[in-house]
Amino acid sequence: MDAFYAAVEVQDHPWLKGRPVIVGMGRRGVVSAASYEARSFGIHSAMPIFQAKKLCPVGVFLPVRMNRYRQVSAMVMDTLLSFTPLVEQVSVDEAYLDLKGSESLWGPPAEAASAIKRAVRESTGLTCSVGLAPVRFLAKIASDRQKPDGLTLVEDLEEFLATVRLKEVPGVGEKTLERLRPLGVERLTQARALGQARLERLLGSFGARLWELAHGIDDQGVHLGREAKSVSHELTFARDLDGSLPADRDLLDSHLLLMCQRVASRLRRQGLAGRIVTLKLKHADFRQVTLRQTLGAATDFTVDIHEAARELLNSYAGGGRFRLMGVGVSGLSPAGTGQAPLFGRERGLRRASLAKAEDAVRGRFGEKALVRAGALTALRQGRGDENGED
């Protein structure tokens, strides 16, 4: 999808059309999305909001409405499924489709791609950019070539490979670029000259992968039912919180409880439970610490996640001021599977019933309709800039 969050906001608020729209707010937040008008000012995703405001003082800054974006995303994915059942959604605004065998229905690939673009626009009012290629990673690269509202068809594999810059390749980060740039490798096909063995010495297992990609080889197809590896939520505080001050410590724990509640709710919504609780802390000087605890059994209950996360927070001896905190649960499995407890079964059923009732109330009346007392402090003082991920 093209500038998805910003495009949804413009569609919902027509007066924004033609204006530089930036999704993301808060003195210490970051840009989640920017319209193409905003990008002309040099604004991009993950840019600090204060920097975006300097570059574009006339921009319209809006809060993230993830529930709305997911609602529109579901419409997009339903539209894609009308073309083929082989659809892999990889994010709220991106998916891979396998069109093999669909020629009798939709015609040649270019015609199918045009039909997909029309269908998405008719169902959502939004534009998307499509890339078609014989292999997955080139389809991804092609989809970014003519944004917005683009269509790029890779017909000659070798000809297209010669145009691919190394930084366009999925999985290639700054460290890889730093290692290969001094060797004169800035385009993908230039990596061929190094040979597979040397690439592996330089980059480890990714070296072998890069050698294959440089030759247009990619055995990754469309994977159905992609499983979430973790469910997490993080918050950039409105001001730095000092863990050595009692009032700030209480506020940290209050925010922590709210995040654990959000993570537990999303786990239950997806029918998942997890055994590994992760606490992420970012200091005021941007130093980042990650702490983990493995539970005795998988859980989707707020109290279990909060208890583990709180222990991790209390055990951290680093001290200092924090600008961000996050909680995640991994080691996921379908809820209700695994070894059942020998004792306490009745208590477990009561907890499950209570959690179900909580989810029902919040689903109908909003998240703030039912909140644990320990989270009220965070609600009263504001929650800063949040981000939740699966």
Identify whether 94 is a catalytic site residue.
Answer: yes
Q: Which of 240, 312, 246 is nearest to 280 (CA)?
A: 312
Mapping DSSP to helix (H, G, I), strand (E, B) and coil, where does residue 112 land?
A: helix
The helix (H) or strand (E) run that includes residue 273 is strand 272-283
CA distance 229 to 329: 9
Q: What are phi and psi of 348, to 5 degrees?
A: -65, -40
Residue 367 has, within 13 A of its CA and on its CB side, a CA count of 13
With contact defined as beta carbons under 8 Å apart, do 124 and 79 qualify?
yes
CB 92 within 8 A of CB 69: yes
CA Rg value for the chain: 23
The one catalytic residue in 94, 200, 212, 367 is: 94
CB-based burial label for 141 (10 Å; 0-12, 13-18, 19+): buried
Cite the active site residues: 94
